[in-house]
Structure 1
Amino acid sequence: MTRLQQLTCALAGIGLSTISTAHAADWPAPIKAVEARGAKVVGTFDAPGGLKGYAARYNGQGMTLYLTPDGEHVLIGSLLDAQGTDLGQAPLEKLVYAPMGKEMWEQMEKSAWIADGSPKAPRIVYLFSDPNCPYCNLFWQQARPWVESGKVQLRHIMVGMLRPDSPGKAAALLGAKDPQAALNAHEAAGKDSTLKAADKVPGEIRKHLAENLDLMGEMGAQATPSVFYLDDKGRLQQQQGVPQPDVLAKIMGSQAE
């Protein structure tokens, strides 16, 4: 079940009179009902047929709401014209995804990450990485041509989620004297890595790992590696898991030399 379906089901059977209308924005009652179930309305847009469009965020995704002309009901989902064009996509891009992408990028910049590559690289790629993740290691290997040529800097946002010793290993990397060297040594060794979990994790590093895991969830990432990059139009894009060669080129911004 998608998040949109979850919200739709949550709204089903709930009378509008039972929803609190104590919201900062003076939205109509049906829109307030949607907000009361966890969505955040961020703007309005014109819609045909006497409808009024609303753009909202829900669990890291954009969705469109359409208020009926009587102001008493709201439709949740896509509105298509005769050519099959979703009339809500452009408003969602402007009102939800563009500002949300900028916000998420800034959050990743502030997170606890380990750099892999030159700080002067023209392209930055973030990924949520677990020390015990074999697919993170595969992505590290895939990225070598771009990283070693100075074209891309990978920023590993360390999390510990796959195995009981993952948090300790992530802490060991973050707390190393040279985190970049420690990470590259671990990844280069692959299955033969000798990385040991930290016996005692300093409070600050424990805090960083918890914040990284929370950020991963906020960004809708469910597995490692979860890769985030900006496309040619500056829009935030996500890749779950190891990418195929054509997708890898898009992530890195060019073909490998």
Structure 2
Amino acid sequence: MAMATVASATEEVRPVDAPAIRGHAAADTVMRNLSEATWVLDGKPSAPRIIYAFTDPNCPYCHDFWQAARPWVESGKVQIRTLLVGVIREDSPNKAAAILGASDPSAALTRNETTFAQGGIDPVETITPRVQQQLERNQALMLSLGFRGTPGIVIVDADGKSVKANGLPRDGKLEALFGPQ
């Protein structure tokens, strides 16, 4: 089945709390579905704050989010669980498949981000059925949560509430999602 094309997020939408997520499904079900999805770890597995981010390997806003998150990720305070989708450009699914199919997906994700200005990771020529299914499931989960572009971010905040943000958080909202540096 072909991946549907979804426009990238060009502007930020304020984070919303659990009631907005509950419109799609119960917050605990959402978090369980996210944790059981296919994601790539960015950061230390022991980091106390977990952030889920739907990301396209060609998305400039996702790349900006990745760069902005470095202080929290590198300090060990935040782990980002990246759910790859291929929705921006024709080669996006193949780049996402290159990351998911790599022997070390975390290193492949980092390579894509550190070489983003030069085009990022090379796309695979053929997507395996297993990886195609992972991409389709991630995209279906992304759409079920109401995200129509990337990045799409979901966390549980310090109060235990689910928070969702469309697009790149700006103007102090990244600190609100990630906590103090």
TM-score (norm 2): 0.85
Query: Do structure 1's residue 251 and structure 2's residue 177 form an aligned pair?
Result: yes
| Counterpart-to-counterpart distance in 2, 1:189 and 1:245 | 26
CA gap of 1:150–1:245, structure 2 versus 1, over 3 A, is farther
How much does 1:151 deviate? 0.4
Higher relative contact order (CA 8 A, sep 6+): 2
Which residue matches 1:237? 163
How much does 1:185 deviate? 1.3
SS of residue in 1 equivalent to 2:26: helix
Partner residue of 1:179 out of 92, 95, 105:
105
How much does 1:194 deviate? 4.4
TM-score (norm 1): 0.60
What is the RMSD computed on CA atoms of the aligned residues?
1.5
- Number of residue equivalences: 161
Partner residue of 1:205 out of 105, 110, 131:
131
SS of residue in 2 equivalent to 1:150: coil
| Native 8 Å contact 1:187 1:193 kept in 2 | no
| Native 8 Å contact 2:114 2:120 kept in 1 | no
| Counterpart-to-counterpart distance in 2, 1:139 and 1:148 | 14
Which residue matches 1:217? 143
SS of residue in 2 equivalent to 1:120: coil
SS of residue in 1 equivalent to 2:83: strand
Map 1:127-142 → 2, pairs under 5 A: 127-142=53-68
| Native 8 Å contact 2:115 2:121 kept in 1 | no
Partner residue of 2:43 out of 111, 117, 120:
117
| Native 8 Å contact 2:111 2:120 kept in 1 | no
